[in-house]
A = this chain, B = another copy of it.
Amino acid sequence: MFRTAELGRKVSKEQFQELAPPLRSELLEIQQKLRQMGFPAIVVFAGVDGAGKGESVNLISEWMDPRWIVTRAYGPPSDEERERPEYWRYWRDLPQRGTTGLFLSSWYSRPVLESVYGDPPPGALDRMLDRICVFEKELADDGALVMKFWMHLSKKAQKQRFEQLEKDPHEKWRVTKKDWENWRNYDNFILAAEHTIMRTSHAHALWTIVEGQDERYRSLTVLTALKDAMKRHIAHREAQRPAPKPKPKANGGAPADEGPPSVSLPPLPSLLGSLNNDASLDKKDYQENLQQLRARLNKLYRKAKDKGVSTVLVFEGWDAAGKGGAIRRLTTAMDARGYIVMPVAAPTDEERRYHYLWRFWRHMTRAGRVIIFDRSWYGRVLVERVEGFAQPAEWRRAYAEINDFERQLVEHGTVLAKFWLHITKDEQLARFQAREATPYKRWKLTDEDWRNREKWDQYESAVNDMVQQTSTHIAPWTLVEANCKRYARIKVFETVCNSLEAALKNR
């Protein structure tokens, strides 16, 4: 879940100076518009110490008109607060309609800290998260924009950040003993954070995970995301309201949404962009590895069958990335009666008559079997999103639905592994051309493949969001560098073996 925020992304001073002024004017303009709308914006900052929560809040207050912004930060409850139900202080501090509230150390502090340092009785943590869900749902139902930023640093980056502050005599005070204590608990903290984020992620209150290491990158990311969310929410609310009488236009009928183009972030290394596409394996190593892995998987496969442990493998990836080939290699290690390969294309007529998850539920296999999905439920947030088959509200809420679906599988004891097979755009072109040139492969290449290729950037950003929102501790994504097919197949093989081995050990 946090890997997308550990890429070391940076924005240069020049880029920043170029992008900041128009972004700032756009934000001010949107803020004016928000004032006339009947909803408040509630923006929550949580995350790792040192990742720039406070700085982001300060920057927003600096860039936007502070008269219509309230900032709230919370420490231990006061006497006044302790005498009332816990959420009294949050209700009291809500921003008015038309204004923005920035919340630091808010309702998310307690569940995260208590699960790291406290020893909450069973169920207590989930009850706290429940309370949050109900609270945010009520706000959203009332029309509020609810936005949540998780500011992130890797363990290493956090350590660097603290050390750097400690070197500066003026900044030294910022790093406390408690900060270092938190750092030593980093892994537990991240585990608690992931659980918290997953349980509180809803279409009406999505989390945005921001890499906090580079100040300029972090600032632009937060402010662009804030701007986009506000714009989207205003547009959504306007669409819902009965249209007011149109005002006569001086310029004679230009579309209402005209104006200077909206600012967006420059292309930055994405999660996929950060992969090492040169990873490769020579033929000899490949053959040796494959032979060993096949024996290993077969043993594990039979053991899982005996113990009644089911396995679900999910393959997603670019067209021509080699999903089919990787799957075919895997299945050579299994008994044909014990696995199914399920190719997922557009839903059938019958399937369309149900919830989109229904067609995956129906195929869940019995104990001890293996089911391999060649494309999967992730189509909802990939092709359906990019092609517009699913409405934004639909694919946005699908992240939570999918996480919940996978949680049910894993809690039932199913082994789940998810693969994204990644090739570069150039490599894809080469493979398409090779298919065209080879008569017996030509059927594999369709017009749709070429059309999808044109939307590469949209797919790439959908994939990044998908990994961010659905790569969880219990169901992580494995990103497979697949420019070299041999390398990719071995990585898939190894990952499947390791997952099975770990699951069987825990039985």
- Residues of A at the B interface (CB closer than 8 Å) are 40, 80, 83-88, 91-92, 94, 96-98, 121-124, 126-127, 130-131, 134, 138-139, 141-142, 144, 308, 310, 350, 352-358, 361-362, 364-367, 394, 397, 401, 404, 408-409, 411-412, 414
Other A-B pairs, 6, CB within 8 Å; known A87-B408, A131-B408, A142-B356: A85-B414, A122-B124, A123-B126, A130-B130, A138-B404, A141-B394
Known: A357-B91, A358-B91, A358-B94. A367 touches B408 (CB 8 A): no
Shortest C-beta distance, A506 to chain B (Å), equals 17
In-complex Cβ contact of A310 among B83, B355, B367, B411 (8 A): B83
Enumerate chain B residues within 8 angstroms of A88, measured Cβ to Cβ.
Answer: 361, 364
Most central of A85, A87, A144, A365 by chain B CB within 10 Å: A85
A131 to B404, CA, bound (A): 9
A355 to B90, CA, bound (A): 12
In-complex Cβ contact of A361 among B92, B97, B126, B411 (8 A): B92
Are the CB atoms of B130 and A401 closer together than 8 Å? no
Are the CB atoms of B126 and A355 closer together than 8 Å? no
A367 to B127, CA, bound (A): 24
Are the CB atoms of B357 and A138 closer together than 8 Å? yes
Are the CB atoms of B308 and A83 closer together than 8 Å? yes
Are the CB atoms of B127 and A84 closer together than 8 Å? no
Are the CB atoms of B354 and A96 closer together than 8 Å? yes
In-complex Cβ contact of A412 among B86, B350, B366 (8 A): B86
Enumerate chain B residues within 8 angstroms of A97, measured Cβ to Cβ.
Answer: 352-354
Known: A138-B401, A353-B97, A361-B91. A83 touches B366 (CB 8 A): yes
Minimum CB distance partner of A366 in chain B: B83
Query: Chain copies in the assembly?
Result: 2
Enumerate chain B residues within 8 angstroms of A361, measured Cβ to Cβ.
Answer: 87-88, 91-92
Are the CB atoms of A84 and B412 closer together than 8 Å? yes
Enumerate chain B residues within 8 angstroms of A362, measured Cβ to Cβ.
Answer: 91-92
Most central of A350, A355, A394 by chain B CB within 10 Å: A355
In-complex Cβ contact of A355 among B139, B350, B409 (8 A): B139
A352 to B38, CA, bound (A): 10
Are the CB atoms of B138 and A127 closer together than 8 Å? no
Known: A88-B364, A123-B127, A130-B130. A94 touches B355 (CB 8 A): yes
Enumerate chain B residues within 8 angstroms of A96, measured Cβ to Cβ.
Answer: 350, 353-354
Are the CB atoms of A126 and B122 closer together than 8 Å? no
Are the CB atoms of B355 and A85 closer together than 8 Å? no
Enumerate chain B residues within 8 angstroms of A355, measured Cβ to Cβ.
Answer: 94, 138-139, 142, 144
A366 to B80, CA, bound (A): 7
Are the CB atoms of B121 and A126 closer together than 8 Å? no
Are the CB atoms of A85 and B412 closer together than 8 Å? yes
In-complex Cβ contact of A122 among B121, B354, B409 (8 A): B121
A308 to B80, CA, bound (A): 12
Are the CB atoms of A364 and B123 closer together than 8 Å? no
27 A–B contacts, CB within 8 A, in A order:
A80-B366, A83-B308, A83-B367, A84-B310, A84-B364, A84-B366, A85-B364, A85-B411, A86-B412, A87-B361, A91-B357, A91-B361, A92-B361, A97-B352, A121-B123, A122-B122, A122-B123, A122-B124, A123-B123, A123-B124, A123-B126, A123-B127, A134-B404, A138-B401, A139-B355, A141-B394, A142-B356
Are the CB atoms of A408 and B139 closer together than 8 Å? no
Are the CB atoms of B80 and A408 closer together than 8 Å? no
Shortest C-beta distance, A100 to chain B (Å), equals 13
Enumerate chain B residues within 8 angstroms of A121, measured Cβ to Cβ.
Answer: 122-123
Shortest C-beta distance, A369 to chain B (Å), equals 9
Enumerate chain B residues within 8 angstroms of A130, measured Cβ to Cβ.
Answer: 126, 130
Are the CB atoms of A408 and B86 closer together than 8 Å? yes
A46 to B240, CA, bound (A): 36
Minimum CB distance partner of A359 in chain B: B91
Enumerate chain B residues within 8 angstroms of A127, measured Cβ to Cβ.
Answer: 123, 126
A111 to B13, CA, bound (A): 58
